[in-house]
Structure 1
């Protein structure tokens, strides 16, 4: 609901207010603005109604007509309590927006896995904000929620989700290069999700519960193309008829190009504190878990990044051998993503080439050629500097993967270990009484034989795997190139070429 309401106002208040008089004529204008993006059907059936309430306009949403219209579908049932929000014109052309309600709903339908259902309840939702038509976004807004519950179920799984009180803020300004820059922050207390898995007729149920006293979400965006995206939505509503859409596909292409690059950059992060996972095998936990992501828009040289961080990890000791308890990871910092991603060229060529009068609009040959060109531009899979800590040791790695021939990859990975001697010593002691530890100890010694010791005491492996099938470790050939095929496939540059020779410069301690 917190996502739906701002979006509805974004559409409804698409025209400047300039302190206009709140009257029936203004209500009609808001209705026309909404119909421009939603079509007239929602108003004809009574799903949406705009009326005057005091010095503001009331937007009322009644799901009963919508339920009656779609309820004819076999096995589908839907119900959601009505709600309303108020919007008031300001003298600066913006709109004041507010809402205060409690809502609940349910849904039943037949899915691929049989009958499915969902129930949800939102308690004490409040929204106060200022919508700016010049930005096609909220320049500022705050919302709060006293709590929410949601339950979904199918024949094999049941999910129960609940949260306590939560708050959210959002702000937007005009971007320097066009579009809108925004920031968003949200906190939710007492996050609790239980997933119960059980096959029909087995009588066996496996519950798994995730708990956290605090969940926070932060996001920011740069250059989001809100107005062109609104124009594209309006075009879609005005051209719902297939024949009309085909006739106006030149205009469609113009709208699609105007919306590029969609945004310049978007970054976000989820953070859980004092995480507890309760399972039949025992309890897992972490003092803090964070998941971050970021991506450029449709760019010529775009990047995408993901990061997973966890500290204070714990797990049931009965799941690992006693000798491995001291070596178990306690902290993780994993970073990966992509670079040199040319989506701009692909998008513009696809927009230029598609023809809705053909089936398919883009030929298989065009798609294959576009894919080949994309790989030829050198996209790269990247492992950023990542670490795993535990037992007084630290493993660090980073690397990349490219596709020089458009199919088979070249991969380069550098692995550094601090405290490797502690790992070997622990395995050596455990090997006296445990066969598994004895095997691990033998493997640890063999792996160390390929390593290079750096001046600061770390040991390092620089691994280069080339598209010709060859593999080198610290410059030494571990595996030669694959046999050369008659058509020349599999040939590559000299084995070992391009590796860093174990200098250790890639990783920072």
Structure 2
């Protein structure tokens, strides 16, 4: 019941009504909206006054009194002060959609004890949360929206640790279009920004840490999302979460919904970028003028490609723990990109459809489903770009490793490494070796590696490296290790 309550509560804003067409703004209409919003809730909570709906001119005012959720909570384990009701205004449109809007604030404080009986005091405040959007009852989700949040502050304090975070402002936008092909799927585009981010952590056992960013920008796209089927799956789970075993009819029903939903998307991408990111501690300070993270998935369902990576520009580190003679070797920029191609979600879906949800061996079936993601058990990891640059080196690498998911021995690799100004790197290591003799071995190793290099037209040193499954290794076509003896 607890899962059902939590999940249903999180969906309150998404389950407005089944249709907006022809709805009159009166008390009967308000009652109908309320009945729709409370139908997922337990009966006692539905009657508690958690949700109130009133006619308000040409629209409805929906009031959420979240304090009602805490009626049965033991005050010895959780208390909260300042939790006042907030309102959302909903206007029915002739198209069957709804305009929603609101402008609320929040300022609460409280106390809780976890399972370990560790007491925590917390505060949470938002000066203003203003939003507008267009809600589509057919998918129980927003077709478009925009929101502005100002002055967010959060604190959490225990006997041994204190955490605080704040955001000056945040902007968010969402838009959608019907996917090409007219199959009822939807493409979503979202984006936004955060300004004035600050987080501070301190504790008895750890030195204080401060994380700052002037701005954080985020963008995302999801194409081909079966929003209606996803809604149906959520509602199905809510209706049957308390059942120990699904009936054959319900098993067939959920499998039918899942089958209609596959593939769950045709492509997905997300990027997050922070500007003037800094991390400060008692032992020093570091950061980057720009830091970015990205993740993407696309391609046909039987050969999808999952990629992820991060990059940082104008990296700086200022700490007495690092001798000044080593500072030139710290990278000033990094770009690390990885990808896993040929993920077979089509076979994964087929295995899911064949799974018996009531079978005690369902966990083992889940493992088998996971193996279906990798065709014939083969795993590939691509490196579209790995680069690092400092005052004394400039290195780029691309490549691919292929192996199996069930062993670490059967693998192969193809890689290309490019280095600019390698003589400068060697000279810098040799200079450093005057005070740290152990680095003479590093200098000697780099010179040996240089002997295998080719020179590209742009002056960079190149190494094309090949490692075969039989253990043979070649560099720029020159064999440096023979194949391993066969058993």
| TM-score with structure 2 setting the length | 0.87
Does the 8 Å contact 2:16/2:140 carry over to 1?
no
Q: Deviations over 1:51-88 (max 9, x none)?
A: 3333322222222221122437x734456443221111
Instruction: Specify every segment of 5 or more residues in structure 1 that has no aligned partner in the other structure, as ranges.
Output: 200-204, 486-509
Does the 8 Å contact 2:348/2:369 carry over to 1?
no
Question: Offset of 1:481 from its aligned partner?
Answer: 4.7
The answer to whether the aligner puts 1:24 opposite 2:30 as a matched pair is: no
Q: Select 1:66's aligned residue among 55, 64, 69.
A: 69
Equivalent residue number for residue 218 of structure 2: 217
Distance 1:375 1:116, change over 3 A: farther
The within-5 A match list for 1:285-300 is 285-296=287-298, 299-300=301-302
Equivalent residue number for residue 380 of structure 2: 380
Question: Offset of 1:156 from its aligned partner?
Answer: 5.3
Task: Return the alpha-carbon distance in structure 1 between the equivalents of residues 46 and 365 of structure 2.
Answer: 45
Question: Offset of 1:50 from its aligned partner?
Answer: 2.8
Instruction: Specify every segment of 5 or more residues in structure 2 that has no aligned partner in the other structure, as ranges.
Output: 1-7
Distance 1:257 1:279, change over 3 A: same
Q: Select 1:309's aligned residue among 308, 311, 314.
A: 311
Q: Deviations over 1:421-455 (max 9, x none)?
A: 11112222333344254343223223323433334
The within-5 A match list for 1:120-131 is 120-131=124-135
What's the C-alpha RMSD, in Å, of the aligned pairs?
Answer: 3.0
Equivalent residue number for residue 209 of structure 2: 208
Q: Select 2:148's aligned residue among 124, 136, 144.
A: 144
Q: Select 1:164's aligned residue among 164, 168, 176.
A: 168
Task: Return the alpha-carbon distance in structure 1 between the equivalents of residues 33 and 351 of structure 2.
Answer: 38
Question: Offset of 1:468 from its aligned partner?
Answer: 4.1
Equivalent residue number for residue 56 of structure 2: 53
The answer to whether the aligner puts 1:89 opposite 2:92 as a matched pair is: yes
Kindly indicate which of the two structures has a greater share of residues assigned to strand. Answer: 2
SS of corresponding position for 2:69: helix
Equivalent residue number for residue 16 of structure 2: 12
The within-5 A match list for 1:69-468 is 69-71=72-74, 75-77=77-79, 80-105=83-108, 106=110, 108-111=112-115, 114-116=118-120, 118-134=122-138, 136-154=140-158, 157-177=161-181, 178-199=184-205, 205-242=206-243, 245-247=246-248, 248-296=250-298, 299-316=301-318, 318-356=320-358, 358-361=359-362, 364=364, 367-368=367-368, 371=371, 374-376=374-376, 378-391=378-391, 393-403=393-403, 406-408=406-408, 409-468=411-470
Pairs aligned (count): 473
User: 149-158 or 418-427, which moves further after superposition?
Assistant: 149-158
Distance 1:286 1:404, change over 3 A: closer
Question: Offset of 1:322 from its aligned partner?
Answer: 3.1
Task: Return the alpha-carbon distance in structure 1 between the equivalents of residues 366 and 378 of structure 2.
Answer: 19
Distance 1:66 1:133, change over 3 A: closer
Question: Offset of 1:21 from its aligned partner?
Answer: 0.7
User: 424-433 or 255-264, which moves further after superposition?
Assistant: 424-433
